[in-house]
Amino acid sequence: MKQGQPGIIDGATILLTGGTGSFGQEFVQRLLKAHNPHVVRIYSRDELKQHEMQSRFQDKRLRFLIGDVRDKERLARAMRGVDIVLHAAALKQVPACEYNPFEAVKTNILGAANIIDAAIDCGVKQVLAISTDKAVNPINLYGATKLCAEKLFVQGNAYAGSSGTRFSCARYGNVVASRGSVIPILLKQRSEGTVTITDRRMTRFWITLEQGVDFVLRCLELMHGGEIFVPKIPSMSIMDLVEAIAPECRVAFTGIRPGEKLHELLVAADEARHTLEFEDMFVIEPTHPWWTTQGWQEAKRVSDGFVYSSQNNPQQLNTEMLRGMLSRFETLPIAQEVTG
């Protein structure tokens, strides 16, 4: 695979939207330990989380900026002098987005447009947006807003033109044990003796925070502009997940919820015509690259009609593998429950 500019993080000024979330905390920890950024600006709405994060890291390279991605003027001020923007801010809870659809659109779609405009106006070199498998053939509003955001970031390159600002997306599945995910819910229910599952046939893609950070850093190194990067990650059935976390509990089946799929996709059949396969990832090329972009070497095109589905994924997690993934967390209340 053709490599991008080496050492792109070192010496860079980086803006991280939604930086106090699960991903942001892990990403910042990695940057400060393994790289040498000039400054990392944390941009988010929650002053308490920013205070807690500042107390945790106590690093002079961090800057904490209160702001909302809905506020274009504030974003423009925050992006002055920035080399790289990593956009992780979003409304992510499916039920909350369904109940508050205007708010989801304002944050996830209009906020994405604000990121693009501000980045171009401020001369940012690279913008990488974090997406989700829910954006592929979406059936709920959250997925639909993330699909729109992907489209905006890909075609944001056309708006940037020859200015040099480039936009790409990193799309991956559920993050193991992240806040609000199914694993902490099952752990809480386990103490009660009964866990609730919507449908026994369900499967999902899984990735750890550490793997997500590795993937994002690699995407920043490789991106030319307009790509959607998809990692090859394992899947697991929901019943195997229950067996790993709460094997002795009774399982109550509640029925599949509105906006919920039995299986998730990371690459849809309609995207196969533009998808390249590498050993550890897929790269979905832009369909209308009106800007100047570079090709990819040493890649093979996937077959027509190819889909990357959690149901038919050849890479499957078993219960022991999941327990091993959980045991590596540094914040161990979850890992300790599972392993000991």
Residues marked active site are found at 134
Q: Do 246 and 252 contact (CB within 8 A), yes or no?
A: no
The strand ranges marked E within the chain are 13-17, 39-44, 62-66, 84-87, 126-132, 166-172, 174-175, 194-197, 203-207, 228-231, 235-237, 250-253, 265-267, 275-277, 281-284, 300-301, 308-309
Measured in whole angstroms, how far is the alpha carbon of residue 183 from the centre of its chain?
A: 17
Torsion angles phi and psi, residue 215, rounded to 5 = -65, -45
CA proximity to 205, closest of 230, 184, 222: 230
Give the span between the Cα atoms of 4 and 71, in whole angstroms. Answer: 32
Alpha-carbon distance of 274 to 213, in angstroms, equals: 25
And the tokens for 48? Answer: 């308490």
Structure tokens at 103: 């708010």
**Would you tell me how many other CB atoms lie within 10 Å of the CB of residue 254?**
9
- Please, is 284 exposed, middle or buried when counting C-beta atoms within 10 Å of its C-beta (0-12, 13-18, 19+)? buried
How far apart CA 52 and CA 139 sit, in angstroms, is: 36
Please enumerate in sequence order all residues whose Cβ is within 8 A of that of 137, keeping only pairs 6 or more positions apart, or say none: 265, 268
Instruction: Report whether 137 contacts 89 (CB < 8 A).
Output: no
CA distance 34 to 28: 10
